[in-house]
Structure 1
Amino acid sequence: MPAEPAAGLDLARDLGLPVGARATFVQFSSTFCAPCRTTRRVLERVATTTEGVVHVEVDVADHVALGERLGITATPTVLVLDAEGVERIRAAGVPTPTQARAALAAVSVR
């Protein structure tokens, strides 16, 4: 019998947080990850300048089971959730502001 697929991220259940009215960036990071700090700055800037967008950072060391369940294998990994909290985009590495805004545009038209 095939294994059941892993449940997706539910911000309220998994982290006690609401999703953004338009979208949510969920950044999986680790303490000593320099690219994670750059990613945080980019996503925070885009989130604070875009109405309805929230940025949440999750330290994988503090949420090991969640990272494993979601298949997070590198940091930074960013999930972009739509207004319903459904993962629409996943990317590893440091995004540019242009890439972050393009991800939001793609999520908004679905």
Structure 2
Amino acid sequence: MRGPDGAGRAGASAPQTELGGELGARLGERATLVQFSSAFCAPCRATRRVLGEVAGLVPGVTHVEIDAEARLDLVRRLGIIRTPTVLVLDAAGRVVRRAAGQPRKADVIAALGEAV
């Protein structure tokens, strides 16, 4: 997933990273889009909209937004250095993709292909 300005960085994460129980939210049946945001982040609002639309379009996909400042434990453990950062989890809660910056809708849908 890459932001429209090309600044977004995408990549696969460590295969052992699992987040299911730590999110405090129900995972999607097929995949979960996890968004780390901060209060005054304009791209975070646009990312929320895009991920919400994708979750509404793809059956079994859920969008979970996490306030990075409130969950510094996860931010540090996962090496989140900017907001928005989006993680794509498979049905078991394993991270299969991650990207920093505002993603495009088409890129999110393509990244879901690795999770489902």
Higher RCO, 1 vs 2 (CA within 8 Å, ≥6 residues apart): 2
Q: SS in structure 2 opposite 1:104?
A: helix
Q: Which amino acid aligns with 1:77?
A: T
Answer yes or no: is 1:23 the counterpart of 2:31: yes
SS in 2 for 1:56: strand
AA at the equivalent of 2:64:
V
Q: Identity percentage over the alignment?
A: 52
Deviation string, structure 1 residues 43-98 (Cα, Å, up to 9, x no partner): 00000111000000001111112111111001000000001110000001111110
Which of residues 10, 19, 24 is equivalent to 2:19?
10
Contact persistence 2:20–2:92 (CA under 8 A) = no
Which stretches in structure 1 are left out of the alignment for 5+ residues?
A: none
Q: Is the contact made by 2:34 and 2:63 (CA closer than 8 Å) also made in structure 1?
A: yes
**1:50 is aligned to 2:68:** no
* 1:64 aligned residue: 72
- When normalised by structure 1's length, the TM-score is 0.86
Amino acid of the structure 2 residue aligned with 1:11: G
Q: Cα RMSD over matched residues?
A: 1.6
Query: Structure 2: any 5+ residue segments left out of the alignment?
Result: 1-13
Q: Number of residues paired by the alignment?
A: 102
Mark the structure with the bigger radius of gyration: 1
